[in-house]
């Protein structure tokens, strides 16, 4: 089993490193992730968001409640360092997210990803884990790059 834990504020560099080395995020997207992480505290009782990190620092995830919903959540970020991809770490991280969501009795998990070839493995993982593709927004991320939305009842 791959140990996965709640991230701590001092994990910021490790999480950003995962984003930078995953091959899934453009350099201009990483500051947004940093800003999102910086605005979060694992000890804030009024902030339900959470970040997870594998003990070896090679995978990370961020999950937020979906506003104006009945306990639906959104997986905003899941990445694995490129040199550790295709080894089960992404699947383990997704299952750790689902386990945490079970603790808060989440009803639905939404996942947005891109239609490009660099996200093909992620889309295959989500489908293999029982997530249904429920939507596609043409050109959302730029010309020819669609937003692909997956969902699964938990």
Tens-place pLDDT, residues 118-130: 899 999 999 999 9
Strand pairing class (72-80; 50-54): unpaired
Cα 45 to Cα 134: distance, rounded to the nearest angstrom:
32
CATH number of 4-153: 3.40.630.30
What residue segments make up the domains of the chain, in order of their start? 4-153
pLDDT band at 41 (very low <50, low <70, confident <90, very high): confident
Report whether pLDDT(77) > 80.
yes
Report whether pLDDT(6) > 80.
yes
Cα 146 to Cα 112: distance, rounded to the nearest angstrom:
10
**pLDDT of the residue at 23:** 87
Contact 54, 2 (CB under 8 A): yes
Contact 17, 57 (CB under 8 A): yes
- Of all residues in the chain, what percent carry a pLDDT higher than 90? 75
- Rounded to whole angstroms, what are the CA distances from 136 to 50, 64, 78, 111? 26, 21, 19, 12
Tens-place pLDDT, residues 47-66: 898 999 999 999 999 999 98
């Amino acid at each position: 089993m791959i140990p996965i834990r709640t991230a701590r504020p001092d994990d910021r560099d490790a999480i950003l490193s995962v984003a930078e080395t995953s091959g899934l995020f453009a350099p201009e997207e990483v500051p947004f992730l940093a800003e999102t992480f910086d605005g979060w505290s694992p000890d804030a009782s009024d902030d339900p968001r959470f970040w997870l990190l594998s003990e070896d620092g090679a995978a990370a995830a961020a999950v937020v409640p979906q506003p104006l919903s009945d306990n639906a959540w959104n997986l905003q970020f899941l990445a694995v360092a490129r040199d550790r991809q295709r080894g089960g770490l992404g699947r383990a991280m997704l299952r750790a997210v689902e386990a945490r969501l079970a603790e808060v009795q989440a009803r639905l998990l939404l996942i947005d990803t891109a239609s490009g070839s660099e996200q093909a493995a992620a889309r295959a993982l989500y489908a293999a884990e029982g997530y249904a593709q429920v939507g596609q927004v043409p050109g959302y991320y730029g010309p020819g790059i669609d937003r692909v939305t997956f969902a699964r009842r938990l």
